Amino acid sequence: MNCWRHFRTRQELYHFERTVSVTFRLSNSAFLRMPVSKREEPKNAGQPSGLPKLPVPPLKETLEMYLKCMSHLIPEDQFKNTKSIVEKFGAPGGVGELLQKKLLERHKEKDNWVYDYWLEDMYLNNRLALPVNSSPVMVFPEQNFRGQNDVLSYAAHLISGVLKYKSLIDSNNLPVEEGRGQQAGKTMCMDQYKKVFTSYRLPGPKTDNLVVHKSTERPDPEQIIVACKNQFFALDVGINFCQLSEKDLYTQLERIKKMADSEEERQPAIGLLTSDGRTQWAKARSVLMQDSTNRDSLDMIERCLCLVCLDDPSGIELTDSNRASLMLHGGGKDKNGGNRWYDKPMQFVIGADGCCGVVCEHSPFEGIVLVKCTEYLLSYVSSSSRLVRAASVSELPAPKRLRWKCSPEIHALLTDAADKLQRLVQNLEMNVYQFNSYGKDFIKKQKMSPDAFVQVALQLTYYRRHGRLVPTYESASIRRFQEGRVDNIRSSTPEALAFVKAMSNSSNFTDAEKMEKFKTAIEAQISYTRLAVAGNAIDNHLLGLREVAKELKIETPELFTDPTYLTSIQFMLSTSQVPTTEKMFCCYGPVVPNGYGACYNPQADHIIFCVSSFNDCAETNSDLFVKTLDGCLMEMQDLCRKWNTQATPEKKEGTPKLMKNGRKS
């Protein structure tokens, strides 16, 4: 190849590059360690110009909506007290007006007034372990590997796809996205894509830092870290800006597999430390950093593009539910739980038994970015009619095994982390269920939004299981604004409560009355969705007001110490719609100990639900939730069919129909 013509061998070039890169790293490491919030970032050349700033909603409207959202979820006496507190907070000349004024000033000064507050509150300040509690996963179709050659061929092809996708990001050649549904035609912010292969979540004793490297800051050979048998290996994927061929990648992966099999060279399963709580992992990392060997290994992992995890067979039946669980936690210390590094945003898992997918550290980007990337990769992998199955004859430098020097303290921390991960594995209850009776096509024929339909179904299910509604989280994209991430759609509306009560007391309501309440609940869901994607929902606004009060060092307003507010941010039902065009599904764990995680993927003729809960909570049960959900979806279909059959033309003409934009026709 022309890029190697001044060197006699690749080995010679490799040593030259390493010398140059080490010199550069030593002079720039302090800058590279700066968290995102403390570094001036160059503007994204591929970013759409003219995106508006996220608005600051009117204070009066947020407070009124807050009361509406909570009025039916708490006892009447508690609500009366909360209403008094809210009125005092929003009174003319009160503390609310002061905080709102400061937010408006912040809006003028920053590209996105809530971004830093939101990132810290949602992710960086959270001290829970990343697996299950924070990191979502994408589960690929089960692969039918016939042996090691198939596994390594698949891995080499996937890595090649990763490098091609990264080049699209770096060259700003990803198509600028436009919104769908409530955001149809709106240009989306593309900033999150720049963080997919360049970021790292650095643990801290009280708060983590999201560190982002820029490609121009890294002249050394780009590396992927390959995890195999709980060992980590640095794989240079390019030499002098020339990408390795798939045969070369296959050769290097084959070498890594042989190196990992060596018992004499086996290193401790350091990756287990990253599965611990964030404060505990920060402590362990500070101990590791005391040794130069560990510092070098940590540096390589923290600056790599991504991880490729070559997993051993799990030894369990690969049902959808089991594959989802394995992707979330690796099966624990005795399986592949240590074959991970949870701080990296993208970990591509390739199991010898065909269990494959991606583990995502969520702080740098949203689910849609994960979906777009993985859809590209699955399409890329499936487009090849023949995967490479032979080693390269090229002369390549051997991959580097990352080494660790572990004190007795580190060994004790490893044991503790492994035990906690095992308890997490045993505690997670996951049910992946494909509802096959109908999908979004049927829902659209009812002139209803599929997402709103499913959200109302989840409310009905929760009510049937627990006899009440609870604060519910559904992520709403606000990427139509600069640096936009998400806000919350509060799906447990008063209208949803009226509908689920009618459905649970069928003898007291006619089908026409139930259908009217159903449509009203759908309309309320659509209305709040429209509010959220326009940047006018309440959660980010209340968060901003709370954080401004902290910055001003004033006494915490009573609004934020009121039990109602504390209840409002305990999302016992955490939901997200993650539709895909490839045969894969997304899942995650509950966000509170007594809650559910409910991710769903609506397709034309079916809907995939991934419902999670914790076994140590007596109130929750994923299997029973799914069984109830199935019944609720069937009842809702039956109601629609009865109404379509029984309603006379005159009744149909007199009943408002909901169009795609949520307006009445």
Active-site residue list: 362
DSSP string across 437-498: S--HHHHHHTT--HHHHHHHHHHHHHHHHHSS---EEEEEE-TTSTT--EEEE----HHHHH
Which residue is associated with the tokens 């299997």?
623
Identify whether the C-beta of residue 602 lies closer than 8 Å to the C-beta of residue 623: no
Q: Which of 661, 598, 607 is nearest to 637 (CA)?
A: 607
Instruction: Return the half-sphere exposure (C-beta side, CA atoms, 13 A cut-off) of residue 356.
Output: 24
Task: Please identify which residue in the block is written with the tokens 């993985």.
Answer: 374
Q: Which residues of 554-568 are buried (b: 16+ CB within 10 A; e: fewer)?
A: eeebbbbebebbebb
User: Rounded to an integer, what distance in angstroms lies between the CA atom of residue 243 and that of residue 165?
Assistant: 13
Angle between helices 622-646 and 511-533 (to 10 degrees): 120
Output the 3-class SS for 544-560.
HHHHHHHHCCCCCCHHH
| CB-CB neighbours of 185 under 10 Å | 8
Burial of residue 635, with CB atoms counted within 10 A of its CB: 0-12 exposed, 13-18 middle, 19 or more buried:
middle
Q: In what order do the strands lie in the sheet with 307-311?
A: 400-401, 231-236, 223-228, 307-311, 346-351, 356-360, 137-139, 585-587
By the 8 A CB rule, do 491 and 474 touch? yes
* Length of the chain counted residue by residue: 665
Q: What is the Cα–Cα distance from 379 to 332, expressed in whole angstroms?
A: 30
* Cα torsion 541, 545, 547, 551: sign: positive
The rounded radius of gyration (Å) of the Cα atoms in the chain is 26
Backbone angles phi, psi at 236, to 5 degrees: -70, 120
Smallest CA-to-CA distance from 414 within 648, 650, 211, 230 is with 230
